[in-house]
Structure 1
Amino acid sequence: MFIYVVKSGDSLFSISLKYQVSQESIRMVNGLQTFQLVPGQDLIIPSNIYIVQPNDSLYSIAKASFISSRTIKLYNNITSNSLQVGMQLYLPPRPTYTVEALSYITPSTPNKNQFLVQNSADLHTYFGIFNYQIRDDGSLSSLDDQPIVQLAKHYRVAPLAVITNLTSTEFSKTLTQKMLNSPIIKDKLIENIYNLLKQKGYVGVNIDFERVGEEERDLYSGFLYSLKKRLKPEGYITSVAIPAKTNDTTPWLLGYDYGGIGAAVDFAFIMAYDWHEASSPPGPVAPIKEIEKTIQYSLNYMKRNQIVLGFARYGYNWTMSGDKVLHAVGISISKAVNLAMKYQVPIKFSTEYQQSFFSYRDEKGQKHIVWFEDIRGKAKKLELVEKYKLRGGGAWQLGLEFPQSHLLAKKFFTIKKRI
């Protein structure tokens, strides 16, 4: 397989003709509902034969296929860098890197549960079942999770119970403060988590406490240490979801001591996204340079095999009035591309951020700016997991449509199973 970026004047027919691949296979792999395309849209071409086009080079083909120029030359008995238009090049399988993969999933209807689990099980070690919410007395909310827990285990994906400090409106800093500052409530919560895992058949826990304050920094690491101490003798996994950090000076991230957290848990899922989000000005959701800085910072405090890099399966659509943001909503990758198609605007790609973006005006003349993850951006993040030899990767969240994600992950990874 390789990536092709749609150019002005392209059609599925012309692309299929260029590379001798059926229109239907291109449409199916890329989750296209119609045969319509938009310039700048990236597509996966499901073929291991590349037919050289005008202006192609070994470098551009290597970049599109994630196979080195040297390997392409070796497998095709090419001794020079010059290529002839129409030449057919074999693209050999790329060596894969073995990882553990964790993505989050929210229990839904039986049909949707079956669809999500069955279609993603082969690419996951764990599913984070989202979510149990802590109460101010150390108890936990309820969740109708037994069907999806059993389904995950049937497909050999280890279910982790996701425990959050979510309320009906937000991730509650106050709720976490109260629990962490009360030994009685903290111990009760730990015991309730242990009982939950035992009763519901989970293999472990994933703690997702957001907005932890600087005052609770050590208390939070201590809570995780105590939790693991309670769970480990029974063979349960203790994991955590933490915000991305590139330094220890950003005020709203001081509650997360990577060193203390790394010493306390089995592994950490780093939420390497939302550099720009619904409450911020428009911009890249997951800029590649910041993500690499996050990995480099993390490795000062955690072992490589403790880090699971989180990927976004979404973007944001900001509604603007001049330079002012009126409001913004999260959108899936598929929805972002469909918006560009609907309003017939080209998709642009930032080489600096490795993210796609476009703008359009809706039926009321209102300006919108959209930034989102795409195939090229996701591939760069997969390369970082391999480059730094991390434990693995994963996503927030399954159910947000990103049709090419499955094939892309198979290109890079072999998935380790725990059950």
Structure 2
Amino acid sequence: MQIHVVQSGQSLYGIAEAYGVNADEIIQANQLSAPARLVVGQTMVIPITGMYYWVRPGDSLYSISRRFGVNINTLASTNQLSLNKPLPIGLRLYIPPGPKRNAEVNAYIEPRGEEVSQSLQSAATEAAPHLTYLAPFSFQVQRDGSLEAPPLDNLASIARRSGVTLMMVVTNLENAQFSSELGRFILNDPAIQDRLLTNIIHTARRLGFRDIHFDFEFLRPEDREAYNRFLRRAAARIHQEGFLLSTALAPKTSRTQVGAWYTAHDYKVHGEVADFVIIMTYEWGYSGGPPMPVSPIGPVRKVLEYALSEMPGSKIMMGQNLYGYDWTLPYVAGGAYAKALSPQAAIDLARTRNAAIQYDYKDQAPHFDYTDDSGKQHKVWFEDARSIQVKFTLLKELGLRGISYWKLGLPFPQNWLLIGDNFLVVKR
């Protein structure tokens, strides 16, 4: 699979001819909304087996083979080259595809209102072949130990058709916010916990969930050990009933990191008790904060490397956003919130505003600036094929279990193509 970055003056048909594919294949693969008006800096996935690489100054067969993880002899023979001769600058090399490794893939889905919208059902159907788990968000814990369920409609049948395991997300959401007080109430009352676990198990069995996923956030720091005790208790019952147990973790960089979102999440205990964890490695750039990448590669790596010091990589799923943000400038703390948008919408916005897309190689994220109709400046950070491929490469380098997406319903077709190009998705 080739990732192509549109340069000034390029057309879709010229790009298709360069790679020897039909332009309609590129349109379909990338769900291009305006194929005749490509955006400078826009990335597209070219649906070919393997990829092409043009030799740059300083390249050698050895350096290219290491970069792409291809045996040097295979690279030389495939391109009918001598191992000992220098490579001409600009020579096009064919890079054959490497072996794929197994990975688990999860995606949260968040229905709003009384039913799962048709657009969310379509998003789940499109993503399901690439998923191990589908996680409707969320079953909200009530103070009497009961659960308030989200609308599910036909999500179970969508999952079943593609061999996807349903993940039952259990949260301490109350009045649309993660509640430390609800957490305190549940985590310090064994009788309520018994009732809650019984309801979780009965509900999971009745609705066909096979993984129980605890996403308790914004807990009081003093409830750290209470949460640990609850998870140990939950694991004993849940595993006895034949279910998996997973948890969501805030993106910490050390055991001593403190804060409302961090202190109560004990990576070591979660790694011991849970079958796997999902680490929320996103939201550095967030709707109420200053403009910056949502999941910059440096901070993401730092969190994952800390996690590996507390648990094996086989238990870690890296979190990944399927969205970006559009900030109105100048940023004012406590002012207007940034608007979330999908990667596809970001490209359409750049086209509408005649903005070229830039790429930050330090953070490994695309971005652009524009001026709206009222003369206000904007900054947009989002995801593209380059930024997601960098995350896949990190996942493989660190030997992680897989990747988890927040959340379905924001179109990013290149992501699913690259999942298939990089991994053999495990079905449970």
Give the corresponding residue for 1:187.
194
* Alpha-carbon contact 1:98-1:414 (below 8 Å) kept: yes
The reply on whether 1:96 has 2:100 as its aligned counterpart is yes
Give the corresponding residue for 2:126.
119
Secondary structure in 2 matching 1:254:
coil
* Alpha-carbon contact 1:49-1:88 (below 8 Å) kept: no
- Displacement of 1:77: 2.7
Quote the Cα distance in structure 1 between the aligned partners of 2:331 and 2:285. 18
Give the corresponding residue for 2:30.
30
The range that moved more, 1-10 or 115-124, is: 115-124
User: What code does the residue aligned with 2:273 have?
Assistant: A
Describe the shift of the 1:134–1:27 C-alpha distance in structure 2 as closer, same or farther (beyond 3 A): same
Give the corresponding residue for 1:73.
76
* Alpha-carbon contact 2:108-2:137 (below 8 Å) kept: yes
Quote the Cα distance in structure 1 between the aligned partners of 2:64 and 2:343. 25
User: What code does the residue aligned with 2:377 have?
Assistant: K
- Of 155, 168, 174, the residue aligned with 1:167 is 174
* Alpha-carbon contact 2:6-2:43 (below 8 Å) kept: yes
* Alpha-carbon contact 1:320-1:326 (below 8 Å) kept: no
Give the corresponding residue for 1:337.
347
The reply on whether 1:355 has 2:370 as its aligned counterpart is no
- Displacement of 1:2: 1.1
* Alpha-carbon contact 2:56-2:89 (below 8 Å) kept: no
Give the aligned CA root-mean-square deviation in angstroms. Answer: 2.5
* Alpha-carbon contact 2:116-2:152 (below 8 Å) kept: no
* Alpha-carbon contact 2:281-2:319 (below 8 Å) kept: yes
Secondary structure in 1 matching 2:32:
coil
- Displacement of 1:110: 7.0
Q: Structure 2 matches for 1:7-406, cutoff 5 A?
A: 7-35=7-35, 36-48=37-49, 66=68, 68=70, 70=72, 71-79=74-82, 80-83=85-88, 89-107=93-111, 109=116, 111-112=118-119, 114-145=121-152, 147-252=154-259, 253-321=262-330, 326-406=336-416
Quote the Cα distance in structure 1 between the aligned partners of 2:423 and 2:217. 30
Quote the Cα distance in structure 1 between the aligned partners of 2:418 and 2:42. 16
Describe the shift of the 1:202–1:155 C-alpha distance in structure 2 as closer, same or farther (beyond 3 A): same
Describe the shift of the 1:18–1:155 C-alpha distance in structure 2 as closer, same or farther (beyond 3 A): closer
Quote the Cα distance in structure 1 between the aligned partners of 2:20 and 2:243. 50
Quote the Cα distance in structure 2 between the aligned partners of 1:116 and 1:56. 43
Describe the shift of the 1:342–1:167 C-alpha distance in structure 2 as closer, same or farther (beyond 3 A): farther
The range that moved more, 367-376 or 316-325, is: 316-325
The range that moved more, 324-333 or 287-296, is: 324-333
Quote the Cα distance in structure 2 between the aligned partners of 1:50 and 1:236. 41
Secondary structure in 2 matching 1:309:
strand
Describe the shift of the 1:417–1:56 C-alpha distance in structure 2 as closer, same or farther (beyond 3 A): farther
User: What code does the residue aligned with 1:33 have?
Assistant: S
- Displacement of 1:168: 3.4
* Alpha-carbon contact 1:18-1:51 (below 8 Å) kept: no
- Displacement of 1:69: 8.0
Describe the shift of the 1:54–1:363 C-alpha distance in structure 2 as closer, same or farther (beyond 3 A): farther
TM-score (normalised: structure 2): 0.90
- Displacement of 1:282: 0.7
Secondary structure in 2 matching 1:357:
strand
Describe the shift of the 1:123–1:66 C-alpha distance in structure 2 as closer, same or farther (beyond 3 A): farther
The range that moved more, 272-281 or 54-63, is: 54-63
Describe the shift of the 1:381–1:195 C-alpha distance in structure 2 as closer, same or farther (beyond 3 A): same
TM-score (normalised: structure 1): 0.92
Describe the shift of the 1:56–1:5 C-alpha distance in structure 2 as closer, same or farther (beyond 3 A): farther
The range that moved more, 71-80 or 107-116, is: 107-116
Structure 1: which 5+ residue stretches go unaligned? none
Structure 2: which 5+ residue stretches go unaligned? none
